[in-house]
Structure 1
């Protein structure tokens, strides 16, 4: 093979998780949004799918008692915790700041402030940064499935 099994599993986990977001979004909103292929947040967590695919592939190929598996497992736990914690809360903060900016702009409009145009053109902060626990869970499931499927291809 051209690429190692753990790297292939991690990259495929990332790709599939990002790709799956498009039809899931369509089913929820009836809108095709291909930009989700390159976005953060959403169902399933691609960060989780990536690190779980990597850890599972290392566990399957080198053993679950290996140092490499230990390192990849700790990395996976940190990434999953971060996705549901810090990044998710940063998204909530961005949502609040966007609302405050919008309210402030509306206030300037009501009082006919001369600098209104300057505030109207500000770019909104990205709100979808982290994940709900279910999104991380399904990212982990996807990561496990990807690693198991590729194991059959690499080691058959």
Structure 2
């Protein structure tokens, strides 16, 4: 089965499914972002074990915690685009602004939303059993990140993008 892809200069290219999959995996910035995200999510399981001495596989899919996987992904994307297209490129500017917005949101809005969820859950927990809201399902609390968690995620993304840049240049 053939598919149509668009080249960076706007030309339509006809490629097979295997070629399309190969070109996605060969996209160094995209791969750096996904690998950084996956590594950060995996590290959350390890940091939870280290801190609480228990394995929590739910941390692989959950939000919040150390390090921030969103920060890792967007910083890896921005740094990889910077290496690939240059720091003066429009794509780097877009990726950098996106990274700043995501990281600000992680330790700003989402962190405070998670703290509000903790307070609301405590209020609902203390309601008498006959209250109509007493059976309300608890809100998710670990939504955001502390600044150190965001910084650790950003550092992880930067390191991953740099290592991939180095290995990509060695293999070519």
Q: TM-score, normalised by structure 2?
A: 0.82
Which 5+ residue runs of structure 1 have no aligned equivalent?
Answer: none
Look up the match of 1:84: 107
Show the counterpart of 2:35.
Answer: 12
Where do 4+ consecutive residues of structure 1 move more than 6 Å?
none
Residue in 2 aligned with 1:148?
162
Q: What's the secondary structure of 1:7's corresponding residue?
A: helix
Deviations 1:24-74 (A, max 9, x none): 100101100011000000000000000000000000111011110000000
* In the alignment, structure 1 residue 48 sits paired with structure 2 residue 74: no
Three-state SS of the structure 1 residue aligned to 2:123 is helix
- Once the two structures are TM-superposed, the CA of residue 119 in structure 1 deviates from its matched residue by 2.4
Q: In the alignment, does 2:117 pair up with 1:103?
A: no
- Distance in 2 of aligned mates of 1:60 and 1:71: 14
Do structure 1's residue 137 and structure 2's residue 139 form an aligned pair? Answer: no
The answer to which structure has the higher helix fraction is 1
How many equivalent residue pairs? 147
- Quote the residue 2:44 is aligned against: 21
RMSD over aligned CA atoms reads 1.4
Gaps of 5+ in 2: 1-21
Structure 1 equivalent of residue 96 of structure 2: 73
Q: Which has the higher strand share?
A: 2
User: Which residue of the partner structure matches residue 3 of structure 2?
Assistant: none
The TM-score with structure 1 as length reference comes to 0.90
Aligned-partner SS, 1:119: coil
Q: What are the superposed Cα offsets for residues 72-104 of structure 1, whole Å, 9 maximum, x if unpaired?
A: 000000001000100001001101110110111
